[in-house]
Amino acid sequence: MKQRTILIFFTISVSLIVWGQVPPGLNCEANFTYQQDPSNYLIVNFVSTSTGDITDYWWDFGDGSSSGGENPSHAFPFEGEFTVCLTVSNNGINPCLDSICKTVVVHPIISYDLGGLLFAGMFPINNPVSTGDTGFAYLYRFEPAGLIPVDTVMFDTLGYFWFSGIEEGKYFLKAGLKETSLRFTQYLPAYHVDDLFWFDSDTIFLDYDIYNAGIYMIHGMPISPGEGHIHGTLLIEQSTGSPIPLKRGQVVLADVDGDPYLCDYTDDSGEFLFDKIPPGEYQIFGEYPGSYSQRLDVILDSNNNSIDNLSLVIYSEIPGIYIDEGSAPVSVQIFPNPTDRLLNIQLTVEHPKQITVQFYNYTGQVVLSSVLQMPAGQFHEVLNIQDLPLGIYLISFRGTNENWHVIKKLLKN
């Protein structure tokens, strides 16, 4: 079992570049993503990722057409480059107005193949002889809004999986064994190349055919049979309301250091069960692409060898970081995202403010912190983050002694 101890010591210099004063923004920020329709490359599906208290959307597609929908699809008349603008607004008690324009390139979709071997130890499953295993592979596309499921394949022949017709972009790849496999209890699923969690794994940038994207599953530590069991429900956080049960979610049983023994998948009611396990101290946590899990500490002993009705929660963001972007009196944009070295941060404030900027890693630890004294207007700041380890970060912008908070998600590659 691979163990990692990472101590991070680094210094990051920050340079502030003032581009000049502009009219300040209010409580909404326009932004959007788009993707060509696989069935017809002239059709582009737009999704507003705007934030704030928004009541009205107006799209100008740059070809003489427009739309008032939040997430429209538009058929362009021919291939080429179009300047698409989105304007969001609220004309109510708390009025706001913001616009953004992007160049949308409409062209025949170029696709690639992605494949590789699933390893159990030194050898792929069922290769060179049958091991009685069936594998699965999940492909997720990285978008600023999160990890988007793209495709799933099941395979057994020589341990090789293959996706075809995949668009250029950044992807996360996960593979493991189906529950009917002979070695299901010995190996846990992994992300490319050999990581239990998505935020530790290597991203794949697909701009050519890749046929050797191998994945090495996690070999679970041996565990003796016993009379104990741990039962509970895996829940996933909702944007509104209480968490709901997550069916077919992965739950991991580990030792106190987080080294895994085995995993279970929840049923249609979100319930999981680790049965016939010995007394001891355990950790229980979930694994869900693009999200973060609670960790529960559990002790089984001679006085209490059965624990039931645990509730384990999967969060869309790092637990403990409160997000209230809609009421923030500041507009924040970060680009490019992903980035490997320089990160541009554009801030717009209506009145002079002191803003604390903090980078959180996936465990919720602050790995970089800075305090900015901001006069009114728009400013552009450039951060050199090349010393940050690869991974997903949340960047927190918080007003000093003010009740607002903006979070941006960043992929460092």
> How many residues are listed for the chain in this entry?
413
Whether 55 and 43 have beta carbons less than 8 Å apart is answered as no
Same domain, 117 and 210: yes
260 forms bridges with which residues in the sheet? 254
Neighbours of 220 (CB within 10 A): 20
Residue 27 near residue 327 (C-beta atoms within 8 A): yes
Give the domain CATH number at 375.
2.60.40.3080
Looking at the domain assignment, is residue 161 inside a domain? yes
**148 and 202 both lie in a single domain:** yes
DSSP state of 222: P
What are the tens digits of pLDDT across the range 190-240? 999 999 999 888 889 999 999 999 999 999 999 999 999 999 999 998 766
State residue 12's pLDDT score.
Answer: 30
What is the amino acid identity at position 102?
K
Per-residue pLDDT, 240: 65
Domain closes at, from 41, 76, 106: 106
What b/e readout covers 297-308, taking b as 16+ CB neighbours within 10 angstroms?
ebebeeeeeebe
pLDDT at position 70 is 95
Which residue range forms the structural domain that includes residue 256?
Answer: 228-315
- Are residue 286 and residue 238 in the same domain, yes or no? yes
Q: What's the confidence (pLDDT) of residue 25?
A: 40
CA proximity to 413, closest of 339, 360, 342, 345: 339
Please indicate, yes or no, whether residues 266 and 293 belong to a single structural domain of this protein.
yes
Per the listing, tokens 């990890």 go with: 147
Per the domain annotation, does 8 fall within a domain? no
C-alpha closest to that of 16 among 259, 372, 404, 394: 372
Instruction: Please check whether residue 5 lies inside any domain of the structure.
Output: no
pLDDT beneath 50: ranges in the chain: 1-26, 320-326
For residues 95 and 129, membership in a common domain is answered with no
**pTM above the 0.85 mark?**
no
Based on its alpha-carbon atoms, the radius of gyration of the chain, rounded to whole angstroms, reads 24
At 9 the pLDDT is 30
User: For residue 76, what are the CA distances in angstroms to 32, 36, 37, 64, 83?
Assistant: 18, 11, 12, 10, 12
Residue position matching structure tokens 């480059």: 81
Is 322 part of a structural domain of the chain?
Answer: no
Structure tokens at 114: 């992605």
Of the residues 315, 346, 375, which one is the last residue of a structural domain?
Answer: 315
pLDDT of residue 3: 45
Tens digit of each residue's pLDDT (9 = 90 or more) over 246-273: 999 999 999 999 999 999 999 999 999 9
Nearest in space to 249 (alpha carbons), one of 215, 285, 218, 219: 285
The CATH number of residue 291's host domain is: 2.60.40.10
Residues 204, 118: one domain? yes
Which of 106, 124, 147 is a domain's end point? 106
Calpha distance 51→331 (Å, rounded): 10
End-to-end CA distance of the chain: 25
Identify whether residues 115 and 99 lie together within a single domain: no
Q: Is residue 134 part of a domain?
A: yes
323 domain residue, yes or no: no
On whether both 287 and 252 belong to a single domain, the answer is yes
Q: What domain count does the chain have?
A: 4
Residue 401 and residue 307 in one domain: no
CA distance linking residue 21 with residue 24, whole number of Å? 8
For residue 183, tell me if it sits in a domain. Answer: yes
User: Per the domain annotation, does 4 fall within a domain?
Assistant: no
97 and 120, same structural domain? no
User: In the beta sheet, which residues pair with residue 200?
Assistant: none
Q: Are residues 293 and 359 in the same domain?
A: no
Contact, 216 vs 124, CB < 8 A? no
Q: Is the same domain home to 38 and 81?
A: yes
- Tell me what pLDDT residue 129 has: 95
